[in-house]
């Protein structure tokens, strides 16, 4: 919660002062009662006291006053709401090197778990699809609001083959281009590709050619690299290249996206969680002045009515 006029919160210093004055007055009242020497006769004359009911009007009065003082500071709450129609294509590398275990339990298993995390963080009305790529790219799940089907499709992935990063971008952008108009007016709708790979593109079209097409379609490509950086990995008796960070940075930069690197499963999950929390959401300020003013006024009135009803005076 934030306040547009925070200096007015100084008025809340009056609350502990009022509480102190009330407690002092109650102690003084008890002290006067004890001066009556015949306590047994006093209890017979006065009967059973009002108990907690005696203090309720004062409690309500102080709570209502606190609400009014807070409303004067013009409080605001930050809330997240869905931003139009969001469409996300997940592009996941399923080349043979994704079977490596340097990212536990395997690179492909970590990618599957992270993808599911991202899907869970998206707005309820978001569309999500899945493209996988090794020596070629293919659509496993077209754009859909049925997020469960995409998570199920992720669970079927198995590594094998080369790495066609350019083809993956081209296929994913083609899916999103059907629902976007790069020449149309700017709207709240958003579309993007989230591409994950652990290697270097070694087949298919040039990734930068595909990135240029994504730029023309105004579709950002968020690139994520996992596994070994700047070194090769021995897998099944053969050497595989590490993640080509320079190429992924160029792709993301050209398409107005960002590049992320994850050395392990925890980092990858965090990256995808943060992406899912940002994609399709917008933070807005909700003015709480009127609700707090109404709350404070209502509590004051209720406290006053209780006091008049029970004790024939205001608190």
CA distances to 16, 31, 46, 268 from 315, rounded to whole Å, are: 16, 20, 21, 59
Predicted confidence (pLDDT) at residue 216 exceeds the cutoff of 80: yes
Instruction: Please state the rounded mean pLDDT for residues 182-188.
Output: 55
* pLDDT computed for residue 237 by the predictor: 66
Predicted confidence (pLDDT) at residue 119 exceeds the cutoff of 60: yes
Least confident of 80-84, 88-92, 150-154, 159-163: 80-84
Q: Are 284 and 45 in contact (CB under 8 A)?
A: no
* pLDDT computed for residue 230 by the predictor: 67
Find residue 238's DSSP bridge partners: 235
C-alpha 116/C-alpha 220 separation (Å) is 21
Predicted confidence (pLDDT) at residue 234 exceeds the cutoff of 80: no
Least confident of 48-52, 176-180, 218-222, 237-241: 48-52
- The residue with greater pLDDT, 104 or 169, is 169
Instruction: Please state the rounded mean pLDDT for residues 232-237.
Output: 68
Q: CA 181: distance to chain centroid?
A: 28
pLDDT in tens, 122-156: 988 899 999 999 999 999 999 999 999 999 999 99
Angle formed by the axes of helices 107-121 and 265-278, to 10°?
20
C-alpha 56/C-alpha 48 separation (Å) is 17
**Maximum mean pLDDT: which of 67-81, 188-202, 211-225:** 211-225
Percent of the chain with pLDDT over 70: 84
Mean pLDDT estimate for the chain: 85
- 235: Cβ contacts below 8 Å, ≥ 6 apart: 96, 97, 99, 100
Domains present along the chain, CATH in parentheses: 2-78+295-311 (no CATH), 84-279 (3.40.50.410)
Predicted confidence (pLDDT) at residue 50 exceeds the cutoff of 60: no
- The residue with greater pLDDT, 6 or 118, is 118
Predicted confidence (pLDDT) at residue 10 exceeds the cutoff of 80: yes
Q: Are 279 and 176 in contact (CB under 8 A)?
A: no
pLDDT confidence tier of residue 90, bands split at 50, 70 and 90: very high
* pLDDT computed for residue 3 by the predictor: 86
C-alpha 127/C-alpha 190 separation (Å) is 10
* pLDDT computed for residue 180 by the predictor: 60
* pLDDT computed for residue 314 by the predictor: 63
Instruction: Please state the rounded mean pLDDT for residues 36-61.
Output: 64
pLDDT in tens, 190-202: 899 999 999 889 9
- 312: Cβ contacts below 8 Å, ≥ 6 apart: none
pLDDT confidence tier of residue 181, bands split at 50, 70 and 90: low
Q: Is the dihedral of CA 83, 89, 90, 91 positive or negative?
A: negative
* pLDDT computed for residue 47 by the predictor: 47
pLDDT confidence tier of residue 32, bands split at 50, 70 and 90: low
* pLDDT computed for residue 27 by the predictor: 79
């Amino acid at each position: 919660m934030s306040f547009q006029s925070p200096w007015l919160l100084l008025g809340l210093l009056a609350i502990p002062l009022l509480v102190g004055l009330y407690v002092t007055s109650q102690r003084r009242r008890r002290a006067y009662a004890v001066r009556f020497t015949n306590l047994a006769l006093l209890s017979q004359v006065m009967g059973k006291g009002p108990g907690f009911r005696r203090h309720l009007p004062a409690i309500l009065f102080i709570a209502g006053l606190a609400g009014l003082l807070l409303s004067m500071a013009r409080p605001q709450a930050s809330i997240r709401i869905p931003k139009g129609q969001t469409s996300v294509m997940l592009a996941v590398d399923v080349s043979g090197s994704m079977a490596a275990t340097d990212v536990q339990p395997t690179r492909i298993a970590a990618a599957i778990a992270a993808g599911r995390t991202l899907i869970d963080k998206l707005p309820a009305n978001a569309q999500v699809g899945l493209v996988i790529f090794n020596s070629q790219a293919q659509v496993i799940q077209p754009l859909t609001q049925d997020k469960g089907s995409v998570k199920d499709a992720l669970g079927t992935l198995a590594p094998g083959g080369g790495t066609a990063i350019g083809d993956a971008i081209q296929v994913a952008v083609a899916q999103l281009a059907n629902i976007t108009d790069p020449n149309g007016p700017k709207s709240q709708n958003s579309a993007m590709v989230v591409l994950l790979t652990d290697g270097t593109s070694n087949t298919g079209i040039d990734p930068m050619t595909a990135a240029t097409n994504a730029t023309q379609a105004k579709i950002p490509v968020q690139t994520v690299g996992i596994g070994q950086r700047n070194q090769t990995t021995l897998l099944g008796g053969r050497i595989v290249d590490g993640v080509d960070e320079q190429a992924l940075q160029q792709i993301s930069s050209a398409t107005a996206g960002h590049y992320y690197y994850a050395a392990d499963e925890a980092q990858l999950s965090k990256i995808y969680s943060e992406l899912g929390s940002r994609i399709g959401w917008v933070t807005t300020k909700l003015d709480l002045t009127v609700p707090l003013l109404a709350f404070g006024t209502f509590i004051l009135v209720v406290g006053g009515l209780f006091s008049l009803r029970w004790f024939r005076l205001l608190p």
